[in-house]
Amino acid sequence: MTRARVASGLVLFAYALFHFLNLGLGLFSPALMDAFQDGRQVVTRSLPGEILLYGALLTHAGLALYKLAQRRTWRMPVWEAVQTTLGLFIPLALIDHIVFTRFAHELHDVTDRYGYLIALIWGSPDAVGQSVLLLVVWIHGCIGLHFWLAGQRWWRDGLPYLSGVAALVPAFALAGFLTEGRRIEALTSDREMRGAYRASYNWPDRDAFANLLNVAAWIWWIVVACFALVVVIYLGRKFLIRRKSVRITYVDGPEVVSSKGLTLLEMSRTNGVPHTSLCGGRGRCTTCRVIVEVGAELLHPPSPEEARSLKAVNAPPNARLACQIRPTDPATVFRVFQPDGRRGRAHASQGQERRLAVLFLDMRGFTARTTGQLPYDVVFLLNRFFDAIVPAITGAGGTVDKYLGDGLLAVFETADERSSALAGLQAASGIRAALRAFNDGMAKEGAPPVAIGIGLHLGDVVLGEIGAAGNAPRTLIGDTVNTASRLEGKTKELGVQLLISEATLSGAGYDSAAFDLVTLELRGVSEPLAALAIDAGADLDKMLDVAALTPENA
């Protein structure tokens, strides 16, 4: 439907552009204006041209009215309201124009050239009305074109120049209209000359005028009836929808009761709650996104498109696009972006506290191994190493929060504490297997094996965007991160490959008493920490398999 609206709009825009340029030629000479009109009409008055033009007119207007009737609310951004109002004005103002040109030509054989129409309206209020119509059509077309192409870089770059051209077109057309009008006025000041001038266009007589006025009135009523139908459908749908409502609480106010069935963005608009929505609610940006603090689990799951958009901005699990969700149960939401388009400074940016597993990994002996090597060779080695082991992290549901030279910090941001701990354990096991395969490859190349140390811990972290507004990558901080880092450092001291904190094991559902834990004093960590030490040759999977799960998790 959108494509049909855009395609029909483009046809009409092209028609209007040439129509206005044609009118502007009145600035130079009527002969030039007529010649250009003849050329245009070869296209617009051919059968395919007429089908295309009038088909586009009916399609564009019909789809616009259909969309208006289907809307849940008529509250909309200013630009959209302007666009819609102008669009509704056009058919009403266009009726006389079409009836006294095209219909007059078909029904009464009037020669509907510019000279005829200008003489017909010159000096009457219609001259002002048609000038306003010209401006309205042009502005409506330009707004439509702009919002169709606003996502294109070349359009945004060229906007200052295109705006200048856009302003010149109606100015040129109106200049042509004024010049030609004054010329015709001078030419027809004499009664006899006026008669001859009108006769040259087969001017409609009194009966023909009455007939054309009648036709215009009929079309006017048809258009008004279409508008009325749209209003009736809109109000009828609204009435049916309003029979059921839902309460939405915005974290920074207000609280509203809105109709079920609306998207959250429509609820905001209906209730006058400012809500950023740069793409107008078409699901083509993420600026309407909200953090659903209460009631997230009661919402329908995101569509693949919504999930993809949220993933692209690394949004937390309870983030949703307001234009894509239709709450049916009470919810508390936080608008991530302020209505002025700036980033809100709460939750998503200030942070969100979660209990998650965190994994710290470091390559052993990296400095000694790479001393004297060319920088490109070092980069090559690191990338091969990370290529080998990172899939074990992402495959387990984790993400690499950051790379730290020859090491990394990974987090397992899953639905709950237990699944996060299990994902961390799965990743640790996967990394060890991946490292063995990687080292087999190194051995074939005659290179020494790579050794690593891993610290895995479960605890509270704050996930947030840390940095200057607009340039703040999402990261995690908290004692848990420091503890995981200290555990990783301790592996070197203990001569083991992996240290798993007791908190991780019990968080995953294991009875930690089933393991032979070591108690560690970690620098910067106030309490001694119990952890399971695993050396490179140990079979972690087997150890976890035989360990007892706590009864509630078994």
Residues that bind ligand FES (CB under 6 A): 277-279, 281, 283-288, 321, 323
For the bound state, the minimum distance from the C-beta of residue 291 to ligand FES, rounded and expressed in Å, comes to 14
- Which residues, including other chains, have CB under 8 Å from residue 544's CB and lie 6 or more apart? 425, 429, 510
CA angle 372, 378, 379 (to 5 degrees): 155
Residue placing its CB nearer to ligand FES in the complex, 283 or 489: 283
Residue placing its CB nearer to ligand FES in the complex, 279 or 442: 279
CA pair distance 331, 317, nearest whole angstrom: 15
For the bound state, the minimum distance from the C-beta of residue 280 to ligand FES, rounded and expressed in Å, comes to 6
For the bound state, the minimum distance from the C-beta of residue 415 to ligand FES, rounded and expressed in Å, comes to 24
DSSP 362-396: EETTHHHHHTTS-HHHHHHHHHHHHHHHHHHHHHT
Place of tokens 């309407």: 288
For the bound state, the minimum distance from the C-beta of residue 324 to ligand FES, rounded and expressed in Å, comes to 7
Residue placing its CB nearer to ligand FES in the complex, 259 or 286: 286
Q: 82-93 burial, b for 16+ CB within 10 Å, e for fewer?
A: ebbebbbebbee
For the bound state, the minimum distance from the C-beta of residue 313 to ligand FES, rounded and expressed in Å, comes to 11
Alpha carbon dihedral 314, 315, 318, 320, in 10-degree steps, equals -120
Residue placing its CB nearer to ligand FES in the complex, 212 or 315: 315
Cα 245 to Cα 268, 321, 324, 329: the distances in Å are: 14, 20, 18, 9
Alpha carbon dihedral 487, 493, 497, 503, in 10-degree steps, equals -30
Residue placing its CB nearer to ligand FES in the complex, 296 or 477: 296
Residue placing its CB nearer to ligand FES in the complex, 284 or 492: 284
**Residue 259 near residue 271 (C-beta atoms within 8 A):** no
Residue placing its CB nearer to ligand FES in the complex, 72 or 457: 72
- In angstroms and rounded to an integer, the radius of gyration of the C-alpha atoms of the chain is 36
For the bound state, the minimum distance from the C-beta of residue 158 to ligand FES, rounded and expressed in Å, comes to 24
Residue placing its CB nearer to ligand FES in the complex, 315 or 321: 321
**Residue 336 near residue 344 (C-beta atoms within 8 A):** yes
For the bound state, the minimum distance from the C-beta of residue 372 to ligand FES, rounded and expressed in Å, comes to 53
- Which residues, including other chains, have CB under 8 Å from residue 482's CB and lie 6 or more apart? 524, 525
CA pair distance 473, 464, nearest whole angstrom: 8
In three-state form (DSSP H/G/I as H, E/B as E, the rest C), the secondary structure along 177-214 is HHHHHHHHHHHCCCHHHHHHHHHHCCCCCHHHHHHHHH
Q: 212 is written with which tokens?
A: 């054309």
Residue placing its CB nearer to ligand FES in the complex, 246 or 288: 288
For the bound state, the minimum distance from the C-beta of residue 147 to ligand FES, rounded and expressed in Å, comes to 12
Cα 195 to Cα 119, 192, 198, 201, 202: the distances in Å are: 12, 5, 5, 10, 10
Residue placing its CB nearer to ligand FES in the complex, 258 or 475: 258
For the bound state, the minimum distance from the C-beta of residue 279 to ligand FES, rounded and expressed in Å, comes to 4
CA pair distance 177, 189, nearest whole angstrom: 18
For the bound state, the minimum distance from the C-beta of residue 287 to ligand FES, rounded and expressed in Å, comes to 6
Residue placing its CB nearer to ligand FES in the complex, 286 or 426: 286
Other CB atoms closer than 10 Å to residue 26's CB: what's the count?
Answer: 27
CA pair distance 9, 12, nearest whole angstrom: 5
- Phi, psi of 467, rounded to the nearest 5 degrees: 145, -175
**Residue 294 near residue 327 (C-beta atoms within 8 A):** no
For the bound state, the minimum distance from the C-beta of residue 363 to ligand FES, rounded and expressed in Å, comes to 41
Residue placing its CB nearer to ligand FES in the complex, 62 or 283: 283
For the bound state, the minimum distance from the C-beta of residue 322 to ligand FES, rounded and expressed in Å, comes to 6
Please tell me whether the peptide bond between 254 and the residue prior to it is cis, using omega within 30 degrees of 0.
yes
Residue placing its CB nearer to ligand FES in the complex, 336 or 505: 336
Strands (E), 19-84: none
CA angle 219, 225, 227 (to 5 degrees): 110
Residue placing its CB nearer to ligand FES in the complex, 321 or 435: 321
